[in-house]
């Protein structure tokens, strides 16, 4: 029986951890190495596991698992359904778009119909993203050339502003998950204030469901248009939402210090994202005025049922992907850190992708890299009455494309974890 306990790294060697990452776990397995040859012994405890009937040796898989696994390899690529649900990806030449594509190629029920780009339209995807060269994917096309009548759903991985103009023109039969900020703020005057332009699709805004999956699962199932949350708001709302809803922390003096990997800024060339400007240092930006503030405050105010104002400072880190939020809160009178811990435990015990670590264990971005998991924990502060919450995600997965896939799964009646159970890429 699969439990949500994180797999302990020491149970497998480096090769073992890499092989296990490529298998959709709920499967538990053991492997044994002997002499110069590697004999792999798999013990499968989960009757639903994919690879029971897919134990094939393939070149591609050997490449994935590393050449040391010469004797046996497992084809874990999900078998596609006979009639896959047809998906279009808008903005496939960007970072979140390429992550969507990477998830789609291994998704058992989704097939790719088209991939769009702007400046890179007309190019083979493999020339823009050589890491996808093995997947036989269609060339990038301009949005105007995409045939929307032939698709069931689209992921929209475009810059905010552009997004609303494009979504406005899409046929109404489509399910849409929008990764931009265009439909996240219910109050369009706040959108104008923080994004510097008036909202041009207010009716669509009314229809959109905010897609923080663990909090709004039921509404997402019935939605046609989901506004996927920003990466910082995801790390922050997941732990704080249940604590505020349960009146366990005070609404005043919430201080949030967040750090992001540089892929959070997208693939576009910017001077401040050049290696020489980033490496060996960190810097704060958007100090006291980052555009995620109203999104975070909207969610937290809903949870607390009163207006919340936060102190939020993001930082750019010289890492490719990963995000950490360190959150300082005052506990309500008579509440202890144990109470916070229990509340987080009971809220998320049935959620696959939110993992409360054992007491005292510090979440690390290393342990979520390449996965859709959010790891978190809560610690007592030295100042009596205060607590420190730490949560980490991969900004491109739970912070963007992974959560978007979780949402589309729900919108199309699939288990939300379909195609997403890969553990983190470590080391
Ligand atoms: N990166 C992250 O961690 C997160 C990003 N987001 C949001 O997701 C969205 C995509 O982000 P990300 O992938 O990082 O961005 P990128 O800059 O990496 O990619 C942007 C994509 O949009 C395309 N594009 C740009 N302008 C237009 C246009 N006018 N018409 C059509 N297509 C266009 C680009 O095409 P081309 O390259 O060919 O010009 C590219 O495919 C953004 O709204 C972002 O804010 C949300 C959460 C996290
Ligand atoms: C490092 C970095 O620049 N990060 C981006 C946030 C990326 C993201 O999640 O936000 P949106 O979906 O709202 O774009 C920023 O601070 O603007």
For 359-417, write each residue's pLDDT tens digit. 999 999 999 999 999 999 999 999 999 999 999 999 999 999 999 999 999 999 999 99
The answer to whether the CB of 376 falls within 8 A of the CB of 392 is: yes
Which of the ligands is closest to the CA of residue 295?
2
At 119 the three-state DSSP class reads coil
H-type helices in 6-87, by residue range?
Answer: 14-21, 59-65
Q: What angle do CA 330, 334, 338 make, to 5 degrees?
A: 75
Per-residue confidence band for 277, with pLDDT thresholds at 50, 70 and 90: very high
Task: Supply the pLDDT for residue 76.
Answer: 42
* Residue 420 predicted with pLDDT over 80: yes
- The per-residue pLDDT for 215 is 98
Task: Quote the radius of gyration of the chain (alpha carbons, Å).
Answer: 22
Which residue has the least CA distance to atom 17 on ligand 2?
Answer: 265
Task: Provide the pLDDT confidence category of residue 82 given band limits of 50, 70 and 90.
Answer: confident
Q: Which ligand is nearest to the Cα of residue 93, counting in written order?
A: 1
Please report, for residues 149, 172, 364, the alpha-carbon distance to residue 175 in angstroms, rounded to integers and kept in the order given.
12, 8, 34
Give residue ranges with CB within 6 A of ligand 1: 91-97, 117-120, 143, 157-160, 162, 179-181, 230-231, 263-264, 266-268, 395-396, 399-400
pLDDT at 80: 83
Ligand 2 centroid to Cα of residue 264, in Å, is: 5
State residue 9's pLDDT score.
Answer: 34
pLDDT in tens, 153-162: 999 999 999 9
- Ligand 1 atom closest to residue 260's alpha carbon, by position in its atom list: 3
pLDDT of residue 39: 34
CB distance 233 to ligand 2 below 6 Å: no
Q: In this predicted structure, what is the pLDDT of residue 79?
A: 75
Reported ipTM exceeds the 0.85 cut: yes
Contact present, 123 and 98 (Cβ < 8 Å) = no
Q: What is the pTM of this model?
A: 0.87
Whole-angstrom distance, CA of residue 233 vs CA of residue 237: 6
The strand pair at 110-116 and 85-90 is best described as parallel
- Regarding predicted confidence, which is higher, 255 or 68? 255
Residues in the chain: 427
Q: Which of 314, 317, 394, 400 to mutate to test the pocket of ligand 2 (most atoms within 8 A of CB)?
A: 314
CA 181 to chain centre: 15
From residue 416, alpha-carbon distances to 107, 141, 278, 421 in Å are 12, 29, 36, 10
Q: How far is CA 312 from the centre of its chain?
A: 21
Name the band, by pLDDT with cuts 50, 70 and 90, for residue 125: very high
Within a 10 A sphere around the Cβ of 379, how many other Cβ atoms?
Answer: 15
- Is residue 317 over pLDDT 70? yes
Q: What is the pLDDT of residue 33?
A: 36
Q: Where are the beta strands (DSSP E) in 281-331?
A: 283-284, 310-316, 323-330
* Residue 3: per-residue pLDDT: 36
State percent of the chain over pLDDT 90.
80
Instruction: Give the ligand whose atoms come closest to the C-alpha of residue 396.
Output: 1
Tell me where in the chain the CATH 3.40.50.720 domain(s) lie: 85-228+401-412
User: Looking at residue 399, what DSSP letter applies?
Assistant: I
- Outline which parts of the chain fall under CATH 3.30.360.10: 231-393
Does ligand 2 have an atom closer than 6 angstroms to the CB of 181? yes
Among 67-71, 134-138, 194-198, 259-263, which stretch is predicted with the lowest mean pLDDT? Answer: 67-71
**Is the backbone of residue 83 left (phi > 0), alpha (psi -120 to 50) or beta?**
beta
Q: Which residues are paired to 392 by β-bridges?
A: 324, 375
Instruction: Compute, in angstroms, the gap from residue 116 CA to the centroid of ligand 1.
Output: 11
With a CB cutoff of 8 Å and minimum separation 6, the contacts of 177 are 153, 154, 155, 156, 211, 226, 228, 404, 407, 408, 411
Span 85-228+401-412 CATH architecture: 3-Layer(aba) Sandwich (3.40)
**CATH class entry, domain 231-393:** alpha beta
Q: What is the pLDDT of residue 81?
A: 85
pLDDT mean across residues, the chain = 86
User: Active site includes 231?
Assistant: yes
Q: How much is the pLDDT for 29?
A: 36
Nearest ligand 1 atom to the CA of 162 is 29
pLDDT for 332 equals 98
* Element holding 360 (H helix, E strand): none
pLDDT of residue 77: 54
- Taking the CB of residue 33, how many other CB atoms lie within 10 A of it? 14
Nearest Cα residue to 87 out of 76, 103, 72? 103
Q: Does 94 contact ligand 2 (Cβ within 6 A)? A: no
Q: Which of 49, 156, 157, 231 is catalytic?
A: 231
Specify whether the CB–CB gap between 394 and 368 falls below 8 A: yes
């Amino acid at each position: 029986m699969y439990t949500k306990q994180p797999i302990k790294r020491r149970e497998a060697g480096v090769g073992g951890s890499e092989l296990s990452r490529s298998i959709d776990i709920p499967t538990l397995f053991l492997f044994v190495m002997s002499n110069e040859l590697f004999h792999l012994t798999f013990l499968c405890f989960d009757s639903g596991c994919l690879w029971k009937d897919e134990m094939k040796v393939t070149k591609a898989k050997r490449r994935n698992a590393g050449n040391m696994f010469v004797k046996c390899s497992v084809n874990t690529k999900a078998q596609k359904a006979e009639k896959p649900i047809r998906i279009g990806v808008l903005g496939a030449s960007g970072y979140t778009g390429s992550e969507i594509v990477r998830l789609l190629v291994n998704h058992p029920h989704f097939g790719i119909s088209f991939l769009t780009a702007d400046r890179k339209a007309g190019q083979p995807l493999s020339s823009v993203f050589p890491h996808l060269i093995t997947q036989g994917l269609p060339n990038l096309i301009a949005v105007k050339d995409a045939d929307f009548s032939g698709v069931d759903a689209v992921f929209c991985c475009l810059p905010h502003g552009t997004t609303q103009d494009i979504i406005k023109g899409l046929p109404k039969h489509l399910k849409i998950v929008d990764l931009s900020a265009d439909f996240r703020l219910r109050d369009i005057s706040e959108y104008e204030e923080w994004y510097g332009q008036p909202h041009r699709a207010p009716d669509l805004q009314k229809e959109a469901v905010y897609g923080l999956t663990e909090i709004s699962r039921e509404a997402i199932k019935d939605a046609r248009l989901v506004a996927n949350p920003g990466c910082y708001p995801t790390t922050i709302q997941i732990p704080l939402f249940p604590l505020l809803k349960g009146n366990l922390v005070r609404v005043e003096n919430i201080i949030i210090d967040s750090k992001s990997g540089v892929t959070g800024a997208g693939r576009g060339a910017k001077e401040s994202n050049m290696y020489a400007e980033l490496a060996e240092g960190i810097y704060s930006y958007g100090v006291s005025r980052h555009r995620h503030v109203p999104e975070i405050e909207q969610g937290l105010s809903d949870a607390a049922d009163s207006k919340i104002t936060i102190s939020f400072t993001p930082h750019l880190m010289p890492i490719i992907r990963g995000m950490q939020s360190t959150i300082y809160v005052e506990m309500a009178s008579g509440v202890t850190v144990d109470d916070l811990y229990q509340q987080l435990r009971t809220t998320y015990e049935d959620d696959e992708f939110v993992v409360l670590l054992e007491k005292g264990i510090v979440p690390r971005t290393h342990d979520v890299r390449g996965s859709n998991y959010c790891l978190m924990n809560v610690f007592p502060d030295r100042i009596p009455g205060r607590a420190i919450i730490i949560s980490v995600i991969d900004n491109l997965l739970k912070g963007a494309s992974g959560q978007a896939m979780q949402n589309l799964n729900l919108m199309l009646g699939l288990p939300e974890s379909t195609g997403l159970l890969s553990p983190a890429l470590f080391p």
